[in-house]
Structure 1
């Protein structure tokens, strides 16, 4: 078949168009044929999210990632393909560990810091008290310049008393002595002693031959006058108290020990005190008594420590810090923040070897320096969670994971 020049040109253009269309179509088909495989190999399958929740309150479920829980915390997703539990414990992925700031430490043997530090106040030694009394009825002729709060020495005069009964007894003694009967004289002298007269006064009466019914009442001990109940001219009855004096050679330091730590203190235990009035100085003593009654308002026990008061520098009412000496015995210790106290029992969150966590019941003892003694329920080397354990405990409770009991096998 013959084609003219014009037809030939048209035929050539049509062939070129078909070739271009065929080429483009083949390229497009090739691209379409390889796309599913390419997309399957390069795109990750998205994980299905069941809901969003806060690990602190896992019972609350939310339907969007921007929700805030009742605790005010941002929620995290709960995936449908999360690995199922395979043992008695809570499984936490790496991202959640980082978000919770979890820290794991091992229980180890050690000694608690030697000492329990509490507050206390200085008080008078109530065993060192002197009473000045009238041994016979009479009246006051003179009162020395004394007042409550004065510091006086032993034997310091307080008041002069006129005792008529003493004068009559001394006259009888002188009359018996003139009889020249040694036995009667000795009996009469003994009667004067029983009435409260000193040998010095009896000797003076015997030497001078004159009666002396005036007596000076003196302080039996040195210390601080607490009460002074005597005035010039007043009449006194036999046995009436004139003054009360508290000694200051030793003082009591009453320390307030919390009842939860009362087991750390015992009678005879060493203690030291520091006072703001004497910086850099330490006063040493020993526990003299632990009072039997606790303070209902502060839930503390009063521990009485006796201190030597050299120079009378320790004054009742002063505030002090008291440190009780520890026993230094080795104990199994964990960080105090790792212990979950529920009121009925104490728990720790164990970090199991397979990356899971399980609560364990423990019996705890003393506490000090940020660490707590574990008496039972844990073995040395076992690892516990010291941060974020409350969230793990709530998750374990929600999923019904029982705590390992004491003695349940470490």
Structure 2
């Protein structure tokens, strides 16, 4: 960075945000600054109001103990009275301004809060009820009783007729042994052979009654449901182990819902739910959480929860939508309206109206999101009033950006700047930032907020005691630095330490 740029940054950074301590001590005939040494707190206005200090409303950080012209703007310093000090009693806004800003208030209150929530689940077959119908012999499909998938079937209903020529030989042998009157052991052995070949007992009985071998048999549905899979057609050949039908049961179905991570952690297996048909709210069903699938969607950050829903009447079919009402424990929590919270990314702040009618920012710790309300775990007490709307307008009206964006109301107010430089003790300050440029007489650093000086995040130049100081510091380094007032650039570096890469500021 050029020297002229460093000088410009110095003037803006140090004068506007540091408070211009050395400028505040000057008194010339032009600026109108008085030369009295008494503290501002001992001064009273013509109206009898006690003056605490003077400040520039456009640069509210620095405070002065005497009236005069602002070192930052072409205007006179404004007094801050004891009955309206933003550092001690918060920000005060007149009732007229409050009405114009449309400020609304809410009270921190105790409320019964439940962890219950609703989720939308899609109906699916319960795969544990699926039944496969297979062929145990080579043969041909002579006739199909069920010709299309998704047909409903009842237990014992005929599905198809199979012709199995391989079963004729064992049956004829068995019948011949019975006619020959051989020993009972041989007849029994022939019967066991047919059973080993998976010839149905009903077919064996029929062949004994008619004395004729039977090669045609009927496949029946082993359970009620729908034909989810149809693997054959009439006339096709079948082989042992071939799946001809797959029947899906409907006595119970699954409702699979995608649940956000924040709510999924409150689910427990066996939790009861009430399922309401999305298309007809009059139809309700009882359900139970069976499984939380160990898979998180990278796009929606949700987990799939599988609920088992009773469907004895058969009114639910796959693809329907159910609204699942998941019930959870109820407890008493301290809540405020969600709109009353200002989220900055790292902090959550509520603007509190204190007993004097002034406003002060308060850091709060948040808990459960309860829709329109939100739980406050720490930072507020029951009965305290918070601003529900107009928080940012209060900030703009009072011009207290440093108070709202810097320290909470419980922090100590910055000290009043003495008018004389000799009255200020030599202090050192610490900051962290990124090196933007390195020159012979100084280093330019983009640093974070420095609370001890009421500085916000900015980029400015710092002087070096000598040209050879800090030889290892390079452009782009993340550093922690210590500095003090003084030097040709206004602030002089005392030490600069390089931080490990990836350090957050």
Q: What is the TM-score normalised by the length of structure 2?
A: 0.58
Q: How many residues align?
A: 337
Unpaired runs of 5+ residues, structure 1, are 1-39, 42-47, 60-77, 406-410
> CA deviation digits over 1:321-356, x for unaligned, max 9?
222113122222222222334444544334343433
2:107 aligns with 106
Distance 1:179 1:87 in 2: 117
Q: 1:242: Cα distance to partner? A: 0.9
2:407 aligns with 401
Q: Contact 1:272–1:284 (CA<8 Å) still a contact in 2? A: yes
Distance 1:301 1:335 in 2: 28
Q: Contact 1:143–1:158 (CA<8 Å) still a contact in 2? A: yes
Q: Which moved more, 1:385-394 or 1:270-279?
A: 385-394
> Structure 1 143/335 Cα, relative in aligned 2: closer, same or farther at 3 Å?
same
Q: Contact 1:365–1:375 (CA<8 Å) still a contact in 2? A: no
1:225-374 counterparts in 2 under 5 A?
225-354=227-356, 355-368=358-371, 370-374=372-376
Q: Contact 2:285–2:311 (CA<8 Å) still a contact in 1? A: no
Q: Contact 1:119–1:321 (CA<8 Å) still a contact in 2? A: yes
Q: Contact 1:286–1:305 (CA<8 Å) still a contact in 2? A: yes
Distance 1:345 1:164 in 2: 81
Distance 1:109 1:259 in 2: 26
Q: Contact 2:146–2:160 (CA<8 Å) still a contact in 1? A: no
> Structure 1 401/158 Cα, relative in aligned 2: closer, same or farther at 3 Å?
same
Q: 1:113: Cα distance to partner? A: 5.1
Q: What is the TM-score normalised by the length of structure 1?
A: 0.70
Q: Does 1:85 align with 2:91?
A: no
> Structure 1 186/274 Cα, relative in aligned 2: closer, same or farther at 3 Å?
same
Distance 1:179 1:342 in 2: 98
1:380 aligns with 382
- Choose between structure 1 and 2 for higher RCO, CA contacts under 8 A separated by at least 6 residues: 1
CA-based RMSD: 3.6
> Structure 1 326/192 Cα, relative in aligned 2: closer, same or farther at 3 Å?
same
Distance 1:226 1:344 in 2: 53
Distance 2:58 2:100 in 1: 15
Unpaired runs of 5+ residues, structure 2, are 1-45, 48-53, 62-75, 412-505
Q: 1:399: Cα distance to partner? A: 5.4
> Structure 1 86/278 Cα, relative in aligned 2: closer, same or farther at 3 Å?
closer
Distance 1:342 1:164 in 2: 81
Distance 1:209 1:231 in 2: 31
Distance 1:52 1:104 in 2: 28
Secondary structure of 1:314 counterpart: coil
Distance 1:195 1:342 in 2: 76
Distance 1:174 1:375 in 2: 86
1:23-102 counterparts in 2 under 5 A?
80-82=78-80, 83-87=84-88, 89-102=90-103
Answer 1 or 2: which has greater helix percent: 1
